[in-house]
Amino acid sequence: MVTEVCRLTMRGIKKSFAGVKALRGVDFSLRPGEIHALVGENGAGKSTLMKILSGAYSLDSGEITIDGQPVTISSPRAGKELGIGTVYQEIELVDDLTIAENIYLDRLGQYGLVHWRKIFSEAEKFMRGLGFDIDVRQRVMDVSVAYKQVVEIAKVLSAQAKILILDEPTAVLTPRETDKLFATMRSLRDTGVSIVYISHRMDEVFAVADSITTMRDGEVTGGGPIGDFNVDRVVELMIGRKLSTMYPARNVTRGSEMLRVENLSGDVFRNVSFSLHKGEILGLFGLVGSGRTEIARAIFGEDGHSAGRLFVDGREINPCSPYQGLKAGISLVPENRKEQGLVLDMPIKHNMTMSNITSVSDRLGVVNRKRENALAQSLADKLTVKTDNIDNPVDSLSGGNQQKVVFAKWLNTGSRIVILDEPTRGVDVGAKVEIYNLMNQLVADGVAILMISSELNEILGMCDRTLVIDKGAIKGELTRTEMSEAGIMRLVVGGQA
């Protein structure tokens, strides 16, 4: 074997957050000029590892070498100087500035003056070099999400990055834009840049990567040249079990119609119609920005809708606020539990009883503490929330347990229609299975679930039917027997043609 100097080695990396082990001794290496896929479920530790590499987090123990030299990366700035560039999933551009300004934000000119001519011409040249012909004088807020992503990449590359970290860069891109990005990635690789490519999409991983590393629960579970792997093997390494045991089976017959949506239209979706029945889990699959979350919010009453009708149990409703949505018997587990689902510094028990405080308070609005404690404790036991005290702030829990508290809140309302927006995002594998079991139990009790997800496996494993949504419109419906990864992606891609 030829010994070759690695571009990057990370050895024995450990990191804990408030006592929770996020990385338990991870080894990771990159060769010069390769595209290296890093895969794992949400919460596996991929992002934490990459944040340590980029300098956003400090490591607890372990060592990093770049081109054979030991380095300490104490800040994002230090990471940048070492040639490490990161493009995060969330776009972090200054919307009000032009594309060129964003690319050269930290070196706009000299003596506090902006060298307009220079940054415009260089930005233009740079973008063309990447294969994108675009007016760099446009403000970022005026271009599409896909182009914003490209601007992010350009910004990072223009700082002479030799290690490029791409965290789910294709999540918001169309297939054609994805192809273009892949071509850019390949040409960068051929100039010697090492690329870490984080993605959930197996087909893309196998299309573009040269090698792969899989992670689960803060540990590396496998890795090597991509040719040594196939999809089933990778998924197994990611979830630590065969796919078939991840999603518990259920045997529930579909009942009467509980929710009917007729030609619902809003700012980012139009003419959405479907019905949801008692005892079923209906999937709503779409990419970020497809309008899936907005549809859920409109049904719940958080956002308005411009046209269309909603029926619950055959009765028309017109919810104008979550309060009215809840009154109509609808619950929503929102996509971002820290910002939308929980009051983080409030005790676990107060979060659990929030949506139905009247269940533990008297007519004067005084909370009965004994009843509240008993109720919250029984919910915590039922959902196996791992805590030694329900008086602790909900902030002290891990992601999966926080999500269980959100579920408990809605369980306590007795809603018959439950909308779940990415219910297992940022949740570890064990808690995921518990949440799936809970969903099955709810359905068995006669609840109707609408589950929004961008994880194909989850949709395939849990749903009775799936609606595929793209650009605010429903592209098709697949029954259980028709559902497959290829079938769903075909509907998404079909929408692009």
Partner 1 sequence: MSEHTKTGTQNAVDVLRKFLPVAVFAILVIISSFLSQNFLTSPNIFNLLRQNSATTIVSLGMLMVILTGGIDLSVGSLAAFSSVLFATLIDTRGNDPVPLGLALAFTLACSLAFGALTGYLVAFQRMAPFVVTLASMTAARGVAYMISHAKTIPIANELVNIFNKRSFQGVPYSVLLALIIFVLVALLLKYTCYGRFIQAIGSNETAVRLSGIRTSYYTMSVYMVSAVMCTFGGIIESRTGVGDARVCQGLELDAIAACVIGGASLSGGKGAAVNTLMGVLILGLIGNIMALMKVAPYPQQVIKGLIIIAAVLLQGRDKKR
Residue 466 near partner 1 by CB under 8 A: no
Residue 163 Cα distances to 61, 67, 74, 302, angstroms = 22, 11, 17, 42
Enter the tokens of residue 137.
């004088």
Residue 373 near partner 1 by CB under 8 A: no
Instruction: Using the minimum distance from each CB to partner 1, give the nearer residue, 287 or 354.
Output: 354
Residue 413 near partner 1 by CB under 8 A: yes
Choose the binding region for partner 1 from 128-136, 148-156, 268-276, 333-341 (rule: CB under 8 A): 333-341
Smallest Cα–Cα separation from 425: which of 382, 464, 454, 459? 454
Cβ proximity of 151 and 173 under 8 Å: no
Which of 202, 332, 438, 469 is in the footprint of partner 1 by CB under 8 A? Answer: 332
Which of 322, 461, 476, 487 is in the footprint of partner 1 by CB under 8 A? Answer: 322
The kind and range of the H/E element at 477 are strand 473-479
Contact positions with partner 1 (CB under 8 A) in 20-59: 20
Smallest Cα–Cα separation from 170: which of 154, 181, 161? 181
Residue 323 near partner 1 by CB under 8 A: yes
Cβ proximity of 6 and 30 under 8 Å: yes
Which of 143, 344, 489, 493 is in the footprint of partner 1 by CB under 8 A? Answer: 344
Residue 340 near partner 1 by CB under 8 A: yes
Residue 392 near partner 1 by CB under 8 A: yes
Residue 2 near partner 1 by CB under 8 A: no
Cβ proximity of 182 and 102 under 8 Å: no
Instruction: Using the minimum distance from each CB to partner 1, give the nearer residue, 72 or 392.
Output: 392
Angle between helices 145-157 and 175-190 (to 10 degrees): 10
C-alpha dihedral sign at 175, 181, 186, 187:
positive
Residue 404 near partner 1 by CB under 8 A: no
Enter the tokens of residue 381.
């036991």
Beta-bridge mates of residue 9: 29, 65
Q: How far apart are CA 50 and CA 29, in angstroms?
A: 12
Smallest Cα–Cα separation from 55: which of 39, 41, 66? 66
Annotate each residue in 219-258 with x if it binds partner 1 (CB under 8 A) or - if it does not, as one string.
Answer: ----------------------------------------
State the nearest-atom distance from the C-beta of 49 to partner 1, in Å: 21
Which of 178, 355, 424, 453 is in the footprint of partner 1 by CB under 8 A? Answer: 355
Angle at CA of residue 201, ends 129 and 133, nearest 5°: 20
Residue 396 near partner 1 by CB under 8 A: yes
Point out which residues bind partner 1 (CB under 8 A): 18-20, 300, 302, 321-323, 325-327, 332, 334, 339-346, 350, 354-355, 357-358, 361, 364-367, 386-388, 392, 396, 409, 413
